[in-house]
Amino acid sequence: MTQALLRFSQATAALSTRVGEAAAWLYPVLGAVLIVNVALRYGFGRGFIELEELQWHLYAAGFLLAYAYAMVNDDHVRVDLLHARFSPRTRAWVELVGTLALLLPFALITAASAWDFFVQSWDMGERSSMPSGLPARWAIKGVLFFALALLAIQALGTAARQLATLLGAPADPPHARETST
């Protein structure tokens, strides 16, 4: 059972890592869009709503898709100041309970709401309210759902890793990566 939990944890970590690394490429694209938009606006006196909307879509997609990646790499915000001082077993219990009682319900509830948000936008063919804006406002709402669903999956993977630790698998040191590169 411990090996199955570890394999599941490694699979979710690999998925979250791949998505997070792919999402990182949105930032150079965002930078290019910003440069072009500023050059057009201030150099040529021409602004484009499409480029402004694309900027916030790229920025939002980049950080939303990095949520699960941050969890894999233990780069998320941690309120518990005592975490590093806990024994590996106590740390595993805190992570397991926190993940299952707080993170997973949050991710599932908000993903369900985001799904409804996306479907409603898709059904009505929602687009920007600006005449020259982006034609598919539903796309960023789909990214919101996907990111939250991936976070829920990663929460299950993290919970599996902590349960495996409690069942006798070697504990990861604080801030260890779950990926198997």
Tell me the per-residue pLDDT of 71-111, one tens digit each, with 9 for 90 and over.
Answer: 998 887 766 677 778 888 998 999 999 999 999 999 999 99
Flag whether 173 is in a domain: no
Question: Within 25-66, where are the H helices?
Answer: 26-38, 44, 49-64
Terminal alpha carbon distance of the chain? 23
- pLDDT tens digits, residue range 51-81? 999 999 999 999 999 999 999 988 877 666 7
d(CA 54, CA 36): 12
- pLDDT tens digits, residue range 151-177? 999 999 999 999 999 998 887 654 444
Flag whether 27 is in a domain: yes
- Tokens 């969890």 belong to 71
Flag whether 180 is in a domain: no
- Tokens 């990111």 belong to 147
Instruction: Give the mean pLDDT of 1-25.
Output: 96
Q: Contact, 18 vs 57, CB < 8 A?
A: no
Burial level of 22, CB count in 10 A (0-12/13-18/19+)?
exposed
- pLDDT tens digits, residue range 100-149? 999 999 999 999 999 999 999 999 999 998 988 899 999 999 999 999 99
Flag whether 171 is in a domain: no
What number of other Cβ atoms are within 10 A of residue 13's Cβ? 24
Q: What is the DSSP letter of 125?
A: T
Flag whether 174 is in a domain: no
Flag whether 43 is in a domain: yes
Flag whether 41 is in a domain: yes
Residue 136 lies in domain:
2-76+84-166
Answer yes or no: pTM beyond 0.85: yes
Flag whether 152 is in a domain: yes
Angle formed by the axes of helices 26-38 and 2-24, nearest 10°:
20
Tell me how many domains the chain contains.
1
